[in-house]
Structure 1
Amino acid sequence: MTASLTAVWWGGAPAADRVADAHLLAAVDEALAGSGAAAELVCTHVDGSAPAPRVGVSIRLTGEPAGPAATRSALARALAGPAVAGGTHDADVAGPARTALVEAGAGDAGRAVRFPGSASVTGRVPVADLIAATAIEQVVGIGVEPVGTDVVDTGPNGFLRPRFSGGRLTLLVERAAGGVLQPFEIEDPHQCCEGGGH
């Protein structure tokens, strides 16, 4: 799923209290409301260029918003940090926003918190169907080689956080109880402390 040359990409540097997946998506959706564009792909990126690593966000829009400057300003307010359009060479752009745009454009890195098809996936889904119905291009296993008929348990909320690697959106999975696969990154990693989950 390499980046389209005509895709509209924006980058941002959210404040620390806006980097959790739900807060980040809410901020992005709030900023784009009524703009005529939506965020079809949202990825987080780690910018390690500063002494303390910061999170950046890349956003692929469904199209150019009706009022790009006003919408970018709304996004900056919602993220409580700078927002920039792809292709901009603004010296004031924060490191995390620039890192996010560069990585997203190259398909080198980025953890997808929203991607095409992600909203329609819940429960147990065969690998082949997951690849056919979403932007996920490959499923890679830890200690297992997934085939199309293997089933991935996405949980009741369809929690999937694939990552870009080599220009492809890749979901990392591992074998779980009952012979199914589960995403390596699970929704509630602390659940195991109470006897269930991972």
Structure 2
Amino acid sequence: MTPHALTVDAGVRDLRAADHLLHGLAAVLDLPDAVFGCTHLVRGERPCVVVSLALPSGPLLSTVEERLAAHGHPVTRGIPDAVGRAVLYPGAASLTGTLTVADVVARSAIDRVTVLGAPHPPTTDTRLVTNGHVRPRWTDDGDLVLSAMPAAGGVLVPFEMPDPTPCCADH
């Protein structure tokens, strides 16, 4: 990630709302594709989800910071932690449909794909059905990693589903 980062605390309480906030900010601010936009869970007295923007330059950071403040968004410099969940990242828009693991890594900022519970990484020709929702996470060692899980037909799907069924939905 880049040292040119800021955090926005808009009082969002869930990941879906934070995703919408990031996409909205990217559109309103006309952010370049090189921007990383992440969600971060904040625990404590006021649990919430904050979003961070890592920008490619200091001048862009200052411009974005000023524009966010003008729109009433509380902004602080830096990021709350190094292990955010990426929503905006280079190549994210190209990760649609069914792709190979090699395609995912080649087309985006994602460094690697892992399979939950598997002792080894998937082969480069393993197919991944994106469902239009690919949310990799930063690791402590600075890699952007997509966690996937096996699905019917011998393919993988991202671990995080776009519209998960709420717990106890049928009760």
Please report the TM-score for the alignment, with normalisation by the length of structure 2.
0.80
1:103-150 per-residue CA deviation (whole Å, 9 max, x = no partner) reads 2xxxx3100011111111111111112112111111111133311111
1:184 Cα deviation (Å)?
0.5
Structure 1 alignment gaps of length 5 or more: 87-100, 194-198
Aligned length: 162
Bigger fraction of residues in helix: 1
- Select which of 19, 22, 29 maps to 2:20: 22
User: Are 2:151 and 1:176 equivalent residues in the alignment?
Assistant: yes
Note closer, same or farther for the CA distance 1:74–1:142 as it changes in structure 2 (3 Å cut): same
Partner of 2:97: 123
Partners in 2 of 1:112 and 1:135 — Cα distance? Answer: 10
CA distance in 2, matches of 1:76, 1:44: 19
SS in 2 for 1:51: coil
- Deviation for aligned residue 1:77: 5.2
3-state SS, counterpart of residue 190 of structure 1 = coil
Residue identity in the other structure for 1:119: A
Residue 61 in 1 paired to residue 55 in 2?
yes
The structure 1 segments of at least 4 consecutive aligned residues displaced by more than 4 Å after TM superposition are: none
Give the fraction of aligned pairs with identical amino acids, expressed as a percent. 35
**Considering only aligned residues, what root-mean-square deviation do their CA atoms show, in Å?**
2.7
**Contact 2:98/2:130 (<8 A) preserved:** yes
Of 148, 162, 168, the match for 1:187 = 162
